[in-house]
Structure 1
Amino acid sequence: MKADPAVQRRLLDLAEVDAELARLDYRRRTLPEVAEIAEAEKAARAKKDAQVAVATQLGDLDREVTRQEKEIDQVRARVERDDKLLQGGTVAAKQMTDLEHEIDTLHRRQAALEDDLLELMERREALQMDAQHAEAELAKAEAAVADATTRRDEAFADLETQEARAKATRNAMLPAFPEPLLALYNRVREQKGTGAALLRSRRCGACRLELDRVVISQIKAAAADDVVRCEECGAVLVRTAESGL
């Protein structure tokens, strides 16, 4: 394949643009914010689970408190009813004794229930503090996710701007290259990562390997418009005064 030496030299400019696009793509795939978001989301899920667990316990305890209060109200109502019977003077002596015994039993039951209720309320107060703490921790975790997401989106936007600029530069350069040369360059780039490189001091600028004397002799004997390639990586070798030929 042949191509004007000046056109071959312009392949180096194209290769530099492609290298910049590759660097931008690598940065996009390895942005630290991406890993940070994954960790922050994992932490947020754990905080959410903790918050739900505390809220569930608090809900269960609230139902127990309600049940306990209802039972206390029922005991109080029975005490009031028995007191009215006693105060009414309409019951026989035997029934009065039974009522007094029942009232005494109900008072003891009420006292026990109220002690249990007090313990439940203390537990509820502690759980409410736990719930507030869990909600605060969840809010912090969600804020961390939002912050990392904002920074990632800003970085992506910056990368997109740079990529658009580099792609526009690349597209503007393409008409200068003959189709066969461009096809060869693109094929090698897709397979090896670098389509063209400078031959400097008898070393390939793509794979960084020094060419042996036989290859150097062959390249030196080639016409200026011959397209020569590295035998190791296949990249088009662009010859200049720096090539050491």
Structure 2
Amino acid sequence: MKASAAEQRTLLDLADLDAEIAKTAHSRKNLPEDAQLAELATKLDAARDDVAASRVAVDDLTVVYERFDRELSGMADHVARDKAAIEAGTTGHKAIAELQRELESLERRRDALEGEMLELMEQQEATSTEADRAEATLLTLTENELDLVAKRDAAAQTVDARSADLTERRTALAATIDADLVGVYEKLRQRGQVGAGLVQARRCGACRMELDPRTLSRIAAADEDEVLRCEECGAIMIRTDHSGLPGQGRPRE
């Protein structure tokens, strides 16, 4: 295949653009914000579990408190009835003695229940504080997530804009190169290979293999418009005055 030396060298610019496009695609799939959001999602799940557990604990204590309160109210009514019966004096001595014993039992139970309710109220206060803390933590994490999503979206837009610009430049550049030459280059890339590489320091720029003297002599003897392929990787080998080929002299620093 024949193609002007200038067009062949343009393949290096095309390869540079392809490398930048690949780098941009990689960065788009690996935005730092996405990793941070994934880490934050784990914290959010744990925070939601904490909120749910604390709410259940608050509700459970409220149920117990309401049961105690109903028992105290019912006990107060019972005590009032017993006292009224005793004060009325309409019952016999035996019945009054039974009522007094019942009153003493009710008062002991009331004292014990009031003590339990005080302890329960302390638990309710501590549990409510923990529930408030869990909800505040969840709110903070949710706000952090919203901020990160906004930053991630902005970063993604920046990367997408660069990708679009690079793709546009690549399309325009490829259109200036011989179609057959670009075709060979594209087939190599479709197979996951490097399409073109600069021959430099006696190495193929695509696979970095050192070229033996026979190959170097063959490359040096080829016409400028001859499209040469690396025997190792198949990439198009681009030659310049700095390739270090036999007869070129020392490359400029």
Is this a same-fold pair by TM over 0.5? yes
- 2-side partners of 1:52 and 1:213: how far apart? 74
**Residue equivalent to 1:6:** 6
In the TM superposition, residue 134 of structure 1 has moved relative to its aligned partner by: 1.3
Partners of 1:156 and 1:194 in 2: CA distance: 27
CA distance in 2, matches of 1:192, 1:85: 100
Q: For 1:36-75, list aligned pairs within 5 A.
A: 36-75=36-75
Question: How large is the RMSD of aligned CA atoms in angstroms?
Answer: 1.6
Q: Does 1:76 align with 2:76?
A: yes
Q: Deviations over 1:26-66 (max 9, x none)?
A: 21223222222111111111121122112111111111111
User: Residue deviations 1:61-106, cap 9 Å, x none?
Assistant: 1111111111111111101111222232322222222212211211
Distance across 2 between alignment mates of 1:20 and 1:205:
17
Distance 2:200 2:223 in 1: 18
| 8 Å contact from structure 2 (residues 206, 235) kept in 1 | yes
Aligned residue runs from structure 1 range 1-245, under 5 A: 1-245=1-245
2:231 and 2:159 mapped to 1: Cα distance? Answer: 35
Judge conservation of contact 1:75–1:106 (CA < 8 Å) in 2: yes
Amino acid at match of 1:138: L
CA distance in 2, matches of 1:194, 1:16: 11
1:221 positional shift:
2.0
Q: Which amino acid aligns with 1:187?
A: K
Specify the code of the residue in structure 1 equivalent to 2:201.
Answer: S
Segments of 5+ residues of structure 1 without an aligned counterpart are none
Q: Please identify, of 146-155 and 10-19, the stretch whose mean Cα deviation from structure 2 is larger.
A: 146-155
Q: Which amino acid aligns with 2:151?
A: R
Query: C-alpha offsets along residues 186-244 of structure 1, whole Å, 9 cap, x if unaligned?
Result: 12123344211222232222223321111111112222211112222222111121122
Task: Supply the distance in 2 between the matched residues of 1:244 and 1:105 (Cα, whole angstroms).
Answer: 109
2:5 maps to amino acid: P
Asked whether the equivalents of residues 192 and 233 of structure 1 are also in contact (C-alpha less than 8 Å), the reply is: no
Aligned structure 1 segments of 4 or more residues deviating by more than 4 angstroms: none
**Percent of pairs with identical residues:** 39
- Partners in 2 of 1:207 and 1:47 — Cα distance? 51
Q: Distance in 2 between matches of 1:195 and 1:142?
A: 47
Q: Which deviations, in whole Å up to 9, do the C-alpha atoms of 1:140-164 show, x marking residues without a partner?
A: 3323333332222221111001001
Contact residue 7 and residue 177 of structure 2 kept, 8 A = yes
Bigger mean CA offset, 153-162 vs 86-95: 86-95
Gaps of 5+ in 2: 246-253
CA contact (8 A) 2:28 2:160 kept: no
Aligned pairs, number: 245
Is the partner of 2:242 in helix, strand or coil? helix
